[in-house]
Amino acid sequence: MEADEFETFVRQSTPALRRYARAVTADPHEAEDLLQETYVRMAGAWHRLLADGNPLGYAKTAMVRLHVSWMRTLVRRARIAPPARPQVADGGLGRVDDHDQLRRMLADLPPLQRVVLVLSYLDDLTDEAIAEAIGRRPSTVRSLRHRALGAIRAELPTHAGVVDREVAG
Amino acid sequence: MSDVRQALRAVWDSDPDHYPAGSDPLPGVRARLRRRRRAQAAGAGLALSAVVGIGAFGVMLAERSETPPTGATTASPTDSAGPAQRDLRGLPSYLESVDATEAVLKSELPQLVPTGVRAAYEGSGPVTRVIAVFDFTAPTGLPGTPREVTVPSGAQVLTTDDPVTSTAYLTAWRPDGSSLFLAVTAAEVEERSAAIDALIEANLG
């Protein structure tokens, strides 16, 4: 009975959690891995999650924590090989799509900074809630968000100029 | 700030169109769960082997230290642990002897109780039921988590605690070849552990 409930939950929540995993990881392949690992973790605590009544909230928090815990592994990998970037479409005429540009910037951010952006702007969480989710202090959350936005702002105007020039011809 | 926020939201909202539709994650989740269960079973088996191995090592040490002096008559192998017994000592005073078959049927896992000379005790204290099987015929796997215990004699002992059934289990083999199975049911793990420790002290010491 509970196994059926769990599988029903997986089927119903997959679209939302897949989108969330893609936002958190900025990598579709890593997102699938994170999605499945999150469900595996939930299966182990399904009794309690049913009692708590908010399995989707648990899934998001578990996903973020899993991803942050993978940071160390990613950092180690990064020392050996450069981080993989998602393929970016160039529109066929050299015109850079804004979304692809921003998507690439997000992929280049350190995982913790990207997670803070997701929790801040996709989930609209307070700094205190974000701090609790990622196991850091609220001041650290503010600092991470500041650095993430700084990195994006530093690249956006340059690329916007490129886009403008390319569009102008 | 709001422009960046809107841009980020637009990117995240367009993800389903940008990336190919993902496949059903359930098969992958099931496969991972199976792998995890196998790994956990292997880990538990390893822990059980370690516990039994430590017990066997203890027996070996005990046997070496009990080597009779030259010229002395060979001591009975039951000297250290006493003869195979049919009465259980060290029980909480509020437990009373009950029909063993009924008690086994009332337990959470009756199929786990091996055949042998059975005895059962029930009461209304912290420990609600104790099932004992003397000289059980087939060794059995025990549910729960292995727990280390101190065994005063050279008996090989395996103890586990299973919170699902609120029962602590013990299988013991004395140096004289006799064996003992115990299932101690109590709501609190501390009560189960204390009862098992007392029974080990009284019956295997």
Which residue, A11, A21, A39, A45, is CA-closest to B30?
A39
DSSP-assigned letter for residue B158: E
Cα–Cα distance for residue pair B16/A15, rounded to 1 Å: 9
Q: State residue B85's pLDDT score.
A: 45
Contact: A36, B7; criterion CB under 8 Å:
no
Mean of the pLDDT values across residues A34-63?
88
Q: Is the CB of residue A15 less than 8 Å away from at least one CB of chain B?
A: yes
Confidence check: pLDDT of A93 > 70: no
For the whole prediction, is pTM greater than 0.90? no
DSSP-assigned letter for residue B97: E
> How long, in residues, is chain B?
205
Per-residue pLDDT of chain B (205 residues; tens, 9 = 90+): 567 888 888 888 887 667 777 788 988 888 888 888 787 777 666 666 666 666 666 666 666 555 444 433 333 333 333 334 468 888 998 898 888 888 888 787 777 888 888 899 999 889 999 999 988 876 667 888 888 887 777 788 888 888 888 899 998 888 888 889 999 999 888 899 999 989 988 888 7
Which residue has 């786990």 as its token pair?
A: B112
Contact: B22, A118; criterion CB under 8 Å:
no
Q: State residue B75's pLDDT score.
A: 35
Q: Is the CB of residue A59 less than 8 Å away from at least one CB of chain B?
A: no
Task: Provide the 10 A C-beta neighbour count for residue A77.
Answer: 13
In Å, how far is B29's CA from the nearest CA of chain A?
Answer: 5
Confidence check: pLDDT of A42 > 50: yes
For A8, nearest residue in chain B (alpha carbons): B26
Contact: B20, A118; criterion CB under 8 Å:
no
Interface of A with B in 73-102 (CB under 8 A): 98-100, 102
Confidence check: pLDDT of A163 > 50: no
Please tell me which of the candidates A15, A18, A117 has its beta carbon nearest to residue B8.
Answer: A117
Contact: A15, B16; criterion CB under 8 Å:
yes
Contact: B1, A149; criterion CB under 8 Å:
yes
Size of interface A-B (CB pairs under 8 A): 68
Mean of the pLDDT values across residues A1-30?
87
Q: State residue B59's pLDDT score.
A: 64
Query: pLDDT tens across A101-132, in order?
Result: 888 889 989 888 999 999 999 999 999 999 99
Assign B129 to helix, strand or coil.
strand
Residue A31 and residue A24 in contact, taking contact as beta carbons nearer than 8 Å: yes
Q: State residue A73's pLDDT score.
A: 61
Q: Report the alpha-carbon angle B129-B84-B74, nearest 5.
A: 150
Residue B120 and residue B104 in contact, taking contact as beta carbons nearer than 8 Å: yes
Helix (H) or strand (E) holding B21: none
Mean of the pLDDT values across residues A81-99?
48
What are the beta bridge partners of residue B182?
A: B132, B170
Contact: A103, B11; criterion CB under 8 Å:
yes
Which residue, A128, A164, A132, is CA-closest to A61?
A132
Cα–Cα distance for residue pair A25/A31, rounded to 1 Å: 6
Q: State residue B115's pLDDT score.
A: 84
One-character DSSP codes across chain A: -HHHHHHHHHHHHHHHHHHHHHHHHS-HHHHHHHHHHHHHHHHHTHHHHHHHT-HHHHHHHHHHHHHHHTHHHHHHHHHHSPPP------TTTTPPPHHHHHHHHHHHS-HHHHHHHIIIIIS---HHHHHHHHTS-HHHHHHHHHHHHHHHHHHHHHHHHHHHHHHH-
Contact: A35, B7; criterion CB under 8 Å:
no
* Alpha helices for B19-99 (secondary structure H): 26-65
